[in-house]
């Protein structure tokens, strides 16, 4: 049996253990990928012709590409013909009550301080049995509607707002951008669409947290966020509890577009299944995220806390096209046990007086390998561009690793690029100091690690920050002492 | 309170403490002096439970319990406090956050209710006065960028908040200017009580002018080679340590 098969199996078993029945066979496409599968996906979703063409073009291009191997990660080859690309509607027989949920799982949620109702949702309990999700979502939607904000699933956007989708889809991450983006473009299942019209400030954080029906996302999701002139939105992605997923490969694409004076703040707390202690199972998180500061004075900030996945390959970047535009990247990435993370950012300075800030905090524990890979690319026309990068690594234990790969390209003389890097080991002295003050080892590690990540957590919306802190504690549990 | 009996301890097989015996009763202040490298900090660390030291022989009883069998955090929760010779920096964690977590861990252990932010702040305001701690040090990361003197003052501030039963002060005087020395020593004196014992590790008599000890012990090569009343410190100040060693060897007794 191949490693891959056994990996899938272990995931499947795990799913079983939690009391889920897997997808209903009848609505599942056969294994493998070809043009017919792409057509099938498109027709199942009732898509317009242009979108099918777009998918097919992406697929044909994907065939010419090879899977990238430059990342500092290793994994058994993925057999793309052995995967299922369409299995919606994913009708899992939901457990009927909390009693049917694995108590271990509930304990984890409890530790995370997730509200009861939310715990149930995450565990997959049919939501209407717990609280009225529909009414929550409806009041929410009405409020946004009044302001002209569109926030819906990607499929709905294709149906209801085809012009907007057509205008912006692939405008930041072209279908032929890279291997995984091309694959996603060909077969993406669903995702989120968000449009903030001119001059509107979203009165609330938009989050998948509220969009209950979209919480159970597939492996190839696509997010598109557009902020028109002067608009502002803060968008939260993911949730802070283990989303169990039978899929092995998760190749999402996220595109952000900010017009003049617009601001987009995109926060992620990613906690996909990381695999077990020996590295068996877990999600390959190969994601392409990019923002385009198209207008003057626009600003895009990425804040990410990556604690899950067995492999993370992710470089949220910003194209700084508009003059005076600003790109920010704040990241905490954890690699524990056998996890591997190769993550960072790309800041491409094109407009004048563009500014970027990169703060990356990598935490390695167990046998985890954590790499920061960042590109700061200052083009010829980007007069007076500024970049400041800071990459800190924290090691817990001596079998893990931290690597930094900063790439800097500057093509004009008026720009200034600063890079600082540090690697430190969590000190026995620090832990002892905490214990001498009455704190347990776990609390000590937690506190030290959270202190290390402070500059990033500060960027997260308050509630998210609290949960991220707890999550970090859970994912590093038992890694020291 | 504390009873140390023939304690041997070391690092990686190197013996640093070679049979220490010491009795500390409630309310007493014991000063430990001795040349550099004689094992003073090691003794303090062993009592606080620092894991890098291995105890090869001997017993330590604290409030009737076997201290050496207790985890360091439990020792702290049971009232042992160590003011570090080299206080440790914890970047990104504010001093007040740290101290609140610490105090609440200790309170929880003792079955007391945890303090909320408001109650804690009230307590802290009052305790800051004891060592005249600068407000800004509360909101800065623990010890990060603190001057040497500020670190030492902060340690005693921790002590004031945590109200230990047995405080071990490892060279809290070093690095303090003359005024600070007096303030910190006064602070310690304010914290003296009939059921709180203090072990003061120092190189200098001048601290003991302020914190007047009940006993002075001289530690050399991992042994207590001489003990005496507070006047012993004066004698050491005058004559150094050289004269003690042969005498100790003659008598053959450590205590
Ligand atoms: N972790 C360690 N590894 C190796 N040697 C150690 C270690 N800790 C202490 N020692 C050694 O043990 C001896 C006693 O050290 P200790 O710090 O207890 O001395 P001290 O009396 O506190 O000295 P000082 O007055 O300089 O503070 C020294 O020789 C020191 O080098
Ligand atoms: Mg010392």
Q: Is the CB of B222 under 6 A from ligand 1?
A: no
Under a CB-based contact definition with an 8 Å cutoff, are residues A152 and A193 in contact? yes
For residues B117 and B203, give the distance between their C-alpha atoms in angstroms, rounded to a whole number: 39
pLDDT band per the 50, 70, 90 thresholds, residue A10: very low
| Cβ separation B101–A447 shorter than 8 A | yes
Closest-CA residue in chain B for A429?
Answer: B88
C-alpha closest to that of B14 among B45, B48, B42? B42
What SS3 class is residue B92?
strand
- The minimal CB distance from B93 to the residues A436, A438, A447 is found for A447
Q: How far apart are the C-alpha atoms of A396 and A312, rounded to whole Å?
A: 19
pLDDT band at A7 (very low <50, low <70, confident <90, very high): very low
pLDDT of B172 > 70? The answer is: yes
Query: Could you report the predicted ipTM of this complex, rounded to two decimals?
Result: 0.94
Angle, in degrees to the nearest 10, between helices B117-131 and B95-109:
110
Q: CA-CA distance, A300 to A297, in Å (whole number)?
A: 10
Higher pLDDT, A470 or B81: B81
Q: What are phi and psi of B49, to 5 degrees?
A: 95, 25
Q: Is 70 exceeded by the pLDDT of residue B102?
A: yes
Which of the listed residues B9, B39, B87 should we mutate to test ligand 1's pocket, taking the one with most ligand atoms within 8 A of CB? B39
Q: Is the CB of B39 under 6 A from ligand 1?
A: yes
Confidence of residue B77 (pLDDT cuts 50, 70, 90): very high
Task: Give mean pLDDT, residues A431-440.
Answer: 96
Q: pLDDT digits over A112-166, tens only?
A: 455 555 555 454 443 322 232 333 444 567 778 899 999 888 888 899 999 999 9
Ligand nearest the Cα of residue B35 is 1
Residues in chain A closer than 8 A to B103 (CB atoms): 438
In chain A, % of residues over pLDDT 90: 38
Distance CA A156, CA A159 (A): 5
A327 against A276, higher pLDDT:
A327
Instruction: Tell me the average pLDDT across A186-212.
Output: 79
The pLDDT of residue A365 is 84
Cα–Cα distance measured from residue B227 to residue B225, given in angstroms and rounded to the nearest whole number = 7
What is the least distance, in Å, from the CA of B105 to any CA of chain A?
6
Q: Is 50 exceeded by the pLDDT of residue A90?
A: no
* Ligand 1 midpoint to CA A343 (Å): 42
Nearest residue in chain B measured CA to CA from A441: B73
The pLDDT confidence band at residue B193, using thresholds 50, 70 and 90, is very high
A-chain residue closest to B159, CA distance: A437
Give tens-digit pLDDT for A239-257.
Answer: 443 444 444 677 889 999 9
Pick from B169, B159, B216: nearest CA to B191: B159
Residue B224 burial by CB count (10 A; 0-12/13-18/19+): exposed, middle or buried?
buried
DSSP B142: E
SS (H, E, C) chain A: CCHHHHHHHHHHHHHHHCCCCCCCHHHCCCCCCCHHHHHHHHHHCCCCHHHHHHHHHHHHHHHHCCCCCCCCCCCCCCCHHHCCCCCCCCCCCCCCCHHHCCHHHHHHHHHHCCCHHHHHHHHCCCHHHCCCHHHHHHHHHHHHHHHCCEEEEHHHHHHHCHHHHHHHCCCCCCCCCCHHHHHHHHHCCEEEEEEECCCCECCCCEECCCCHHHCCCCCCEEEEEEECCCCEEEEEECCCCCECCCCCEECCEEEEEECCCCEEEEEEEECECCCCCCCCCCCEEEEEEEEEECCCCCEEEEEEEECCCCEEEECCEEEECCCCCEEEEEEEEEECCCCEEEEEEEEEECCCCCEEEEEEEEEEECCCEEEEEEEEEECCCCCCCEEEEEEEEEEECCCCEEEEEEEEEECCCCCEEEEEEEEEECCHHHHHHHHHCCCCHHHHHHHHHHHHCHHHHCCCCHHHHHHHHHHHHHHCCCCCC
Percentage of chain A beyond pLDDT 70 is 73
pLDDT at A34: 87
Helical (H) or strand (E) element with B99: helix B95-109
pLDDT band at residue A97 using 50, 70 and 90 as cut-offs: low
Do residues A369 and A405 lie in contact, with contact meaning Cβ atoms separated by under 8 Å? no
Q: Which residue of B has its CA nearest to A442?
A: B73
Confidence of residue B246 (pLDDT cuts 50, 70, 90): low
Report pLDDT for A116: 52
Stretch B227-248: mean pLDDT, rounded? 81
Share the mean pLDDT of chain B: 92
Kindly indicate the confidence band of residue B60, based on its pLDDT and cuts at 50, 70 and 90.
very high
Q: What is the pLDDT of residue B30?
A: 96
Q: Is the CB of B135 under 6 A from ligand 1?
A: no
String of DSSP letters for B143-156: TTT--HHHHHHHHH
Flag whether pLDDT at A448 surpasses 50.
Answer: yes
Confidence of residue A216 (pLDDT cuts 50, 70, 90): very low
Please measure the distance between the N-terminal and C-terminal CA atoms of chain B and give it in whole angstroms: 18
Say if ligand 1 is within 6 A of residue B18 CB.
no
Handedness of CA A276, A281, A285, A286 (dihedral sign): positive
The rounded distance, in Å, linking the Cα atoms of B133 and B126 is 10
B11 Cα to chain A: minimum distance (Å): 15
| Cβ–Cβ contact B167 with A under 8 A | no
What is residue A208's predicted lDDT score, i.e. its pLDDT? 59
B52 has a pLDDT exceeding 50: yes
Q: Residues B110-125: pLDDT tens digits?
A: 999 999 989 999 999 9
Please state, rounded to an integer, the average pLDDT across all residues of chain A.
Answer: 77
Q: Which residue has the higher pLDDT, B240 or A91?
A: B240
A295 close to A267: Cβ distance less than 8 angstroms: no
Paired tokens of A215: 């919480």
Contact A452/B at CB under 8 A: yes
Any A CB within 8 A of B59 CB: no
The CA–CA distances, whole Å, from A474 to A242, A336, A388, A434, A449 equal 11, 11, 31, 19, 12
Please work out whether the CB of residue B223 comes within 6 Å of at least one atom of ligand 1: no
List, for residues B4-20, the tens digit of each pLDDT value: 999 999 998 899 999 99
Closest CA to A437 of B67, B103, B120, B119: B103
Q: Where are the beta strands (DSSP E) in B163-254?
A: 166-170, 197-201, 215-220, 223-228
Using the beta-carbon criterion (under 8 Å), do B105 and A438 form an inter-chain contact? yes
pLDDT of A106 above 70: no
Q: Is the pLDDT of residue B96 over 90?
A: yes
Read off the pLDDT of each residue in B57-84 and give the average, rounded to a whole number. Answer: 96
**Would you give the end-to-end CA distance of chain A in angstroms?**
37
Residue B251 has pLDDT above 60, yes or no: no
Residues at Cβ < 5 Å from ligand 2 ion: B 40-41, 85
> For residues A427 and A95, which has the higher predicted lDDT (pLDDT)?
A427
B17 lines ligand 1 (CB under 6 A): no
pLDDT for residue A179 is more than 60: yes
């Amino acid at each position: 049996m191949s490693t891959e098969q056994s990996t899938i199996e272990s995931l499947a078993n795990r799913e079983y253990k939690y009391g889920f029945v897997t997808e209903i066979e009848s609505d599942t496409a056969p294994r493998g990928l070809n043009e017919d599968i792409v057509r099938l996906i498109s027709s199942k979703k009732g898509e317009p012709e242009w979108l099918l063409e777009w998918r097919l073009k992406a697929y044909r291009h994907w065939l010419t590409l090879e899977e990238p191997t430059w990342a500092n990660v290793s994994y058994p080859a993925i057999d793309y013909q052995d995967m299922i690309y369409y299995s919606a509607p994913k009708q899992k027989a939901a457990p009927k009550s909390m009693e049917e949920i694995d108590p271990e799982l509930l304990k984890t949620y409890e530790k995370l301080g997730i509200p009861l109702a939310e715990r149930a949702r995450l565990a997959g309990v049919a939501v209407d049995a717990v609280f009225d999700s529909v009414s929550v979502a409806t009041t929410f939607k009405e409020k946004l509607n009044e302001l002209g904000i569109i926030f819906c699933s990607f499929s709905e956007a294709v149906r209801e707002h085809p012009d907007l989708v057509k205008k912006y889809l692939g405008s930041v991450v072209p279908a032929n951008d890279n291997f995984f983006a091309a694959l996603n473009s060909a077969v993406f299942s669903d995702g989120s669409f968000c449009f903030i019209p001119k001059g509107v400030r979203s009165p609330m954080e938009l989050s998948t947290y509220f969009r209950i029906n979209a919480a159970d996302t597939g492996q190839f999701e696509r997010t598109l966020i557009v902020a028109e002139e002067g608009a502002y939105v803060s968008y939260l992605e993911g949730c802070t509890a283990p989303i169990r997923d039978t899929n092995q490969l998760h190749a999402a694409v996220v595109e952000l577009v900010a017009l003049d004076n617009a601001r987009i703040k995109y926060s992620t707390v990613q906690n996909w299944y990381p695999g077990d202690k020996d590295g068996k199972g877990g999600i390959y998180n190969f994601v392409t995220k990019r923002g385009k500061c198209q207008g003057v004075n626009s600003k895009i900030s990425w804040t990410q806390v990556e604690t899950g996945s067995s492999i993370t390959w992710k470089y949220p970047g910003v194209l700084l096209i508009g003059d005076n535009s600003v790109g920010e990247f704040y990241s905490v990435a954890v690699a524990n046990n056998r996890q591997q993370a190769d993550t960072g950012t790309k800041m491409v300075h094109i407009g004048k007086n563009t500014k970027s800030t990169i703060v990356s905090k990598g935490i390695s524990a167990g046998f985890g390998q954590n790499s920061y890979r960042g590109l700061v690319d200052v083009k010829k026309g980007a007069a007076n561009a500024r970049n400041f990068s800071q990459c800190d690594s924290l090691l817990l234990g001596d079998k893990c690793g931290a690597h930094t790969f900063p790439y800097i390209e500057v093509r004009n003389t008026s720009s200034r690029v600063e890079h600082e890097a540090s690697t430190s080991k969590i000190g026995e002295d620090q832990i002892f100091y905490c214990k001498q003050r009455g704190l347990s080892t776990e609390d000590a590690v937690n506190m030290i690690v959270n202190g290390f990540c402070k500059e990033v957590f500060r960027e997260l919306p308050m509630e998210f920050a609290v949960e991220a802190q707890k999550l970090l504690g859970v994912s590093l549990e038992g890694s020291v002492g | 309170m504390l009873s140390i009996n023939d304690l041997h301890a070391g690092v990686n097989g190197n013996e640093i403490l070679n049979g220490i015996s010491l009795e500390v009763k409630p309310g007493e202040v014991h000063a430990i002096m001795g040349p550099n490298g004689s094992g003073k900090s090691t003794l303090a660390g062993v009592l606080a439970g620092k894991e890098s030291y291995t105890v090869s022989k001997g017993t330590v009883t604290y409030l009737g319990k076997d201290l050496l069998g207790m985890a360091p955090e439990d020792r702290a929760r049971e009232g042992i406090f160590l003011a570090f010779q080299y206080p440790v920096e914890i970047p990104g964690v504010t001093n007040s956050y740290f101290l609140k977590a610490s105090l609440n861990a200790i309170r929880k252990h003792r079955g007391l209710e945890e303090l909320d932010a408001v109650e804690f702040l009230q307590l802290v305001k009052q305790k800051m006065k004891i060592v005249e701690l600068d407000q800004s040090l509360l909101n800065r990361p623990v010890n990060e960028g603190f001057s040497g003197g500020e670190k030492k003052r902060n340690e005693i501030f921790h002590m004031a908040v945590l109200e230990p039963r047995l405080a071990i002060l490892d060279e809290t005087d070093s690095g303090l200017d003359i005024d600070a020395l007096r303030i910190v020593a006064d602070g310690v004196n304010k914290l003296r009580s009939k059921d709180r014992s203090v072990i003061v590790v120092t190189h200098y008599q001048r601290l003991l002018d302020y914190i007047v000890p009940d006993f002075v012990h001289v530690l050399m090569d991992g042994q207590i080679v001489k003990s005496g009343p507070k006047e012993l410190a004066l004698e050491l100040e005058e004559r150094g340590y050289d004269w003690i060693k042969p005498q100790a060897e003659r008598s053959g007794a450590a205590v």
